[in-house]
Amino acid sequence: MRTCSWILLFCVTLATPAGATPGAPRKSARALMDSIFRRASWRDMRGKIRLVLQNKRGVRKLREIKMWSKKNEKDESRILMRFIKPADVRGTGFLLIEHDDGDDDRRLFLPALRRVQRISTSGSGGNFMSSDFTYYDIGRPKLRHWHYSESGERVVGGVKCRLVTGKAVSKKVREDTGYSQIVWVVDEKRGVVVASDFFNKWDKKFKVLEVKKIEDLSGVPFATQMLMRDLTNGHRSEMSFIGLKTNIGIPDRTFTSRNLLRWTR
């Protein structure tokens, strides 16, 4: 069973020990990221997300979101989010259905339009609800989208971590995701990503992700607080997970366009 994601850590590459075993051969960059992206976890999850947006002048906006996630028999994740605050975005919904062998299905419900619209693959690099996270960040990154290489070490919180650079395998991946490369900072002992650097289509570093807090959730290390900063404009987005419950039996019908359109509260 695998974790569902990359940035949402109930979905991110930060969820479950896949670390190094004493005496075991050192994993290659590709094998290390494969072990992090594909790891044992829970079958389903429910909780809330607190998303705080802040511009360079310090003006803050708060968004509160209800979230459901579930894996199918192929370990492909489905995620449903529903905005509950503030009033101007209340009822907005987002549905992600992963496909390991193809493009993920992303759909957005806007209450004002009363319809569900599909987010194309080419639009996956767009900002998620005005935050510094993109639609591509919401969900597990595709292993096949990146060429992996070892790129040094970095000390984070007193822990020496490995740096793994993923470079886009094609111009299409670069254009669709908005990233030419991503550098993951990996605490190999715990098997978690503790930070990431993002480079734009012109190979300039423009965003950084910092994991602020990792907690134990049903025996699994889980990133419950993370900060994404845009280096070009001083904007930042802090995402926190609250009240998470796992393996509660969420029905499959939760993750449908019909439900996304129908459920507006």
The DSSP 8-state label assigned to residue 42 in this structure reads -
- pLDDT value, residue 21: 53
User: In this predicted model, what pLDDT tens digit does every residue of 177-234 receive, in sequence order?
Assistant: 999 999 999 998 888 899 999 999 999 999 999 999 988 877 777 889 999 999 999 9
The mean per-residue pLDDT over the stretch 8-12 comes to 42
pTM over 0.95? The answer is: no
Residue 108 lies inside a defined structural domain of this protein: yes
pLDDT in tens, 232-252: 999 999 999 999 999 999 999
Read off the CATH number of the domain in which 224 is found: 2.50.20.10
For residue 65, pLDDT over 90 is answered with yes
**Residue ranges with strand state E in 98-252:** 105-110, 115-119, 146-156, 159-168, 181-187, 192-199, 205-217, 220-230, 236-246
> For the chain, what is the domain count?
1
Position 129 in a domain: yes
DSSP classification of residue 55: -
In a domain, 147, yes or no: yes
> pLDDT at position 219, please?
73
- Give the residue numbers spanning the domain of 199: 29-262
Tell me what pLDDT residue 50 has.
97
Q: Model confidence over 66-95: pLDDT tens digits?
A: 999 998 877 778 999 999 999 999 999 999
Contact 70, 222 (CB under 8 A): no
Share of the chain above pLDDT 70, in %: 88
pLDDT at position 263, please? 58
Residue 9 lies in a domain: no
Asked if the model's pLDDT at residue 97 lies above 80, the reply is yes
Residue 24 is assigned to a structural domain of this protein: no
More confident residue, 78 or 142: 78
> Is residue 161 domain-resident?
yes
The confidence band for 262, taking pLDDT boundaries of 50, 70 and 90, is confident
Whether residue 11 is contained in a domain is answered as no
pLDDT (average), residues 40-44: 77
Looking at the DSSP assignment, which residues form a beta bridge with residue 208? Answer: 197, 229
Q: How far apart are CA 153 and CA 106, in angstroms?
A: 35
The pLDDT value given to residue 20: 53
Whether 19 is covered by a domain: the verdict is no
* Spatial contact of 147 and 166, defined as CB atoms under 8 Å apart: yes
